[in-house]
Amino acid sequence: MSSPAVVEAVGGATVEIALVNNMPENAAEATVGQFETLLRRAAGQGITYQLTCYALPQSDVARGSASSTHEEIEALYARGADALIVTGAEPRAERLADEPFWADFSRLVLWARTHTLGSLWSCLAAHGAVELLDGVSRRRQDQKISGVFACSATPDDWATQGAPEEILVPHSRYNSLSREDLAANGYVISSWSPSVGVDSFWRREPSLFLFTQGHPEYTANTLASEFRRDALRFLKGTSAAFPKLPDNYFSGAAQEEIALLRSSPEVLDPFSFLERFDRILEQNPPTANWFNDAERLYGNWLRLIVAERNEEPIGTMARKAAFSRCKT
């Protein structure tokens, strides 16, 4: 499959971007902030965009306080969008088809194929999309993949245009997609790592679907917050094991202090643990050394959407007409 060209000359009308947020309620607003920051940096001075947030009916966002900042998914279907970003979600079921949002998510995937110029599917959303489209199932790993990993960038690929041979990407997941399964179904691998497998990949649907198993949108503290959450679950007895430290993330000093804290009797007291853990992070704050690579990926994606829209516009009325036919 030939790689689309990313053009430097952009311009044109405002790009309408829809963000479908499937994160738990306590992380919903932070997730929006992560994507907003990355899109703003990636767009720079050359691209004007409008970001609108939506929620699937069965998501935590739709049922919680964050619903006031997210529109119902039906509004997206009626309004349309040039581009779509779909976040991951914290897994609740062993099988994706058993997730409470699966039916609504499936409808979104099929709608996006012919009603957007490009869609970006993050982590669990990527797993769900390829399972729906091709029956490619994720595979549970022996332990959680968590940390910042060096991934090899595929040469002459639009998604990694301008990238060095290796890029840095945060990953945080329990499941993986097989590179062989993806390649056999026509997906193009843009970046991957021998230690964590496929990072990003894409395929025409005919909309340009970009998938990321990693989380380039993460801020410097996101992996620390997730580790803190998982440790608290263990201390409260709702998780069977204390979490492994994220790879290649905490400083050497922070790792040593967290290891000492883990062996301390105080670890049995959630409040004492959190107080000391937060103090360690204040003294040894993580850094987002992957953000330039994340900005490049999203910049390539945005420029390609603008270029494709300028070449072959898809108007809102056309989207509405096509969707009405798909529903019958």
229 is in an annotated binding site: yes
Task: Name the residues annotated as catalytic.
Answer: 123, 215, 217
**Domains detected in the chain:** 15-218+290-327 (3.40.50.880), 222-283 (no CATH)
Tabulate helix, strand, coil % of the chain (nearest 5). 45, 20, 35
The dihedral built from the CA positions of residue 35, 172, 291 and 152, taken in this order, carries a sign that is negative
Q: What's residue 309's pLDDT?
A: 85
Structure tokens at 281: 């992070």
What's the pLDDT band for 198 if we cut at 50, 70, 90?
Answer: very high
pLDDT single digits (tens) 239-293: 888 999 999 999 999 999 999 988 887 677 888 899 999 999 999 999 999 999 9
pLDDT single digits (tens) 67-122: 789 999 999 999 999 999 999 988 888 899 999 999 999 999 999 999 999 999 99
Taking alpha carbons only, the member of 146, 151, 248 closest to residue 194 is 151
What's the pLDDT band for 321 if we cut at 50, 70, 90?
Answer: very low
Structure tokens at 202: 């894409």
Q: Cis bond leading into 164, ω under 30°?
A: no
- Bridge partners of 86, per DSSP, are 20, 121
What's the pLDDT band for 298 if we cut at 50, 70, 90?
Answer: very high
Structure tokens at 23: 């994160």
Burial class (CB in 10 A: 0-12, 13-18, 19+), 62: buried
- Considering the entire predicted model, what is its pTM? 0.89
320 is in an annotated binding site: no
Amino acid at 255: Q
Structure tokens at 293: 């690579």
**Residue 148 dihedral angles phi and psi, to the nearest 5°:** -115, 125
Taking alpha carbons only, the member of 81, 93, 91, 19 closest to residue 56 is 19
Q: Are 264 and 194 within 8 A, CB to CB?
A: no
Q: Is 197 left (phi over 0), alpha (psi -120 to 50) or beta?
A: left
DSSP 8-class letter at 187: P
